[in-house]
Amino acid sequence: MKMRFFDFEVTPNWWLCVFGDMPDDPKDIQEHIKDDFIAIDSDMPNARDQLISLLKEEGFVMTGYNIKGYDLIISNGVYQGFSPQQIKILNDLIINPGCAWSTKEHIRLQPFAKRRMRGLCYQDLLDDNDGSLKEKEAILGLDIMESSVDFNKENLTPEDKEDLTYYCRHDVFACMYFYSKVMAGYVKNKLAIGKKFGIPERDCYMCTNANLVSKALGAKRVSFSDAEEIEIKLPSKIHEYCYENLPSKLVDQIRNDTKSFEVTLFENTVSFGNGGIHSVYSNNLYVESDEEWTLMNVDAASYYPSMLIQFDCLSRTVHNPKVFENIFNERIMLKHKKDKTQEEEDAQLANKLVLNTTYGASGNKWLDLYDPYMCTRCCRLGQIFLAALANKLTKCVPGLKVIQTNTDGILVYCRRKDIPLVESYQAEWSKVSGINMEADMVEKIWQRDVNNYLLIKEGGKVKRKGLWLMDTWEKPGYFLISPLTAFVSQKAVINYLAHGKDIVETIVEDTNIFDFAMTCKKGPTYRGVVQRFEDGTEKELYKCNRVYASKDESLGQIFKYKMYKGQISYAKMPSIPEHCRLINNDLGSYDFNDIKKDIDYMFYINRCADLLDIQWRQLKGSSLKPTNQFNYFD
């Protein structure tokens, strides 16, 4: 099926809908494609029939951003024959449900504020995502335009309607661009599940990942008498191992209490909670491998999917658990098979998505897979069993240090001669549980905390976690994207730490405007955004903006504002320069050779200083001492 994108704009006496079809080649998604979009508005003869025809045309998937929460409801209003004035009331009811009792007409139309148009196939790009489309436009470097027309204006001029149409065409284009750059893989995964498990293509588009996985596993919602049960029991095959290698009191606490807590264990500060186990030997820690000592990452392979099988933690709404086990086994087989066919590639993709989604879906009360007891049982068993291994390693391998633990893995620091001993305890853990373990060697780690670190694997591959050194908007393996945060500074710090490259050199050599840009969004609790200039004047800005640090001292900072106790309250946008130059047009339209003359490079260098303002401690053998080797600015 072909993707057809659409978007509505609604005013008191006029509505508009723009349609754009996805080109066969994604490279054709350029500005000029807007000219091919079809605009239908309420002034046109037979506007309703034209709209319905485009929405329900066979072979098309109606695609947009937040269409389940807005556009499909407005579409239904048009389908029902509502007047433009009634469509505006419907619009207001969607945006502000509190206005439901404003007039008799509001009361009458209120039930339609949650009714979507039926009989069409659709894909909402907000599924399994978050934020607004404007935020996506800002991150992807598109023009962050907003219409200058007041959406509550009753008597629109021809110029107003032209402005709204231009704005709406842009949003359809932006949605199409976002799909091609970010969400196409997400839709491909869903279609792979449908193909693998015989789910109709229409259902694949209209369901979220988790809903689709529920269908693939044949889950049927059930109410369980133990839904509020707190105490969990250890599977018999790991019972002895856990109590032998962890304090009994700790095991019992995790088994009998759902509250999060911290303890000191295997020389780590260990956090147990609903998000899994997390621990660190020390914050602000630097460790590197040498001839005698090495860093070794010990991971449980497919830990949570494995536990669902090995510890009988699969949601009981799946009436044939063998289905999940077969998916797991096929996934392992295909993962290691060479020269896979396209059908096998698609099957592997579908299997992976099912395995990685099932556990989380069992904790979502809105899904058929919901089984709260099994969800919490799996999480707590995973914490106990992994902690038991970490504790055994520190007790049984001389000098071994656990640098950190996370949901499914342990990073250890040990003598190279003890690697076979570590591997023997891994093998024991796997034999007891039936869960495989994998290991890879690590050259260096800079660990600010458990959620923020830079790691270099053996062979030079760089891995970073957390916002500390986030240097791209992309999140591999996810369909969420990160705001622009002056990535040039993070890149400079990574190059400095990992490769010894001078920070200033990295920043000055960078000619990508993306890397200097920062996005500023106001958030739902604020009313608007202004730029306050050095002379005290203010300019109203868009809800979401993009800036870079300028040398022009007449430019001011960006503030968001709201009403607080009858007065306007201002809050400075966090982590932005004192002198902001707006770059809200398409980033591809700027000439960097012109911009670099205005860039305040010292702002980005000082950001590096902030990122590196850490008193590192180095673990070398059994010695933990402060180190100044990364103090670039001293």
Tokens of 376: 């919490």
- Within this chain, do residues 322 and 442 fall inside the same structural domain, yes or no? yes
Q: Report the distance separating Cα 477 and Cα 488, nearest Å.
A: 23
Q: How many other CB atoms are there within 10 angstroms of residue 392's CB atom?
A: 18
- What confidence score (pLDDT) does residue 556 get? 92
Pairing relationship of beta strands 268-272 and 261-265 according to DSSP bridges: antiparallel
Contact between 297 and 442 (Cβ < 8 Å): yes
Please indicate, yes or no, if residue 304 is contained in any of the structural domains.
Answer: yes
12-16, 346-350, 484-488: which has the minimum mean pLDDT? 346-350
Domain assignment present for 625: no
Tell me, what CATH number does 78's domain have?
3.30.420
Q: Based on the domain organization, do 447 and 506 belong to the same domain?
A: no
Q: Dihedral of CA 327/333/336/339: which sign?
A: negative
pLDDT confidence of residue 154: 94
Query: Would residue 103 count as lying in a domain?
Result: yes
Say yes or no: 226 and 169 in one domain.
no
At 457-504, the pLDDT tens digits run: 999 999 999 999 999 998 766 678 899 999 999 999 999 999 999 999
Do 559 and 430 sit in the same domain of this protein? no
623 assigned to some structural domain: no
State the number of CA atoms in the 13 A half-sphere of 247 facing the CB: 8
Range of the domain at 563: 487-611
Which residue bears the tokens 């264990």? 265
**What's the pLDDT tens digit per position in 526-561?**
999 999 999 999 999 999 999 999 999 999 999 999
pLDDT at 342: 86
* 292 plus 386 within the same structural domain: yes
CATH number of the domain where residue 429 is located? 3.90.1600.10
Q: How confident is the model at residue 627 (pLDDT cuts 50, 70, 90)?
A: very high
Residue 157, classified by CB atoms within 10 Å of its CB into exposed (0-12), middle (13-18) or buried (19+), is exposed
Q: Would residue 475 count as lying in a domain? A: no
Boundary-marking domain end, from 446, 462, 478:
462
Whether 174 and 267 map to the same domain: the answer is no
In this structure, are residues 556 and 536 in contact, taking their beta carbons and an 8 Å threshold?
no
Residue identified by tokens 């669902």 is 308
Residues 523 and 399 in one domain: no
pLDDT of residue 607 exceeding 90:
yes
pLDDT (tens digit, 9 = 90+) per residue, 112-129?
999 999 999 999 999 988
Q: Report the percentage of the chain scoring pLDDT > 90.
A: 89
State the pLDDT at residue 477: 62
| 471 inside domain | no
Q: What percent of the chain has pLDDT over 70?
A: 100
pLDDT in tens, 387-397: 999 999 999 99
Nearest to 17 by CA among 84, 99, 95, 116: 84
Task: Based on the fold, state whether residues 68 and 43 are members of the same structural domain.
Answer: yes
pLDDT tens across 15-52, in order? Answer: 999 999 999 988 889 999 999 999 999 999 999 999 99
Work out whether strand 268-272 and strand 401-406 pair parallel, antiparallel, or are unpaired.
Answer: unpaired
In the structure, what pLDDT confidence band is assigned to residue 588 with cuts at 50, 70 and 90?
very high
- Structure tokens given for 509: 């050599």
Q: What share of the chain is helix, strand, coil (3-state, %, to 5)?
A: 40, 20, 35
Domain final residue pick, 180, 207, 234 = 207
CB neighbour class for 297 (10 Å; exposed up to 12, middle 13-18, buried from 19): buried
User: What's the domain count of the chain?
Assistant: 3
Q: Model-level pTM greater than 0.85?
A: yes
Domain membership of residue 150 (yes or no) is yes
Q: Does residue 274 carry a pLDDT above 90?
A: no
Residue 615 has pLDDT above 80, yes or no: yes
Residues 456 and 319 in one domain: yes
Regarding whether 28 and 140 lie in a shared domain, the answer is yes
For residues 454 and 492, membership in a common domain is answered with no
- pLDDT band for position 283 (cuts 50, 70, 90): very high
183 confidence band (pLDDT: 50, 70, 90): very high
Backbone φ and ψ of 77, nearest 5°? -60, -45
How far are the Cα atoms of 505, 528, 534, 537 from residue 554, in angstroms, in the given order? 28, 22, 5, 11
Q: How far apart are CA 150 and CA 254, in angstroms?
A: 56
Average pLDDT of the residues in 223-238: 94
Statement to judge: residues 183 and 224 lie in one domain: no
Within a domain: 441: yes
E strand or H helix that includes residue 391: helix 372-396
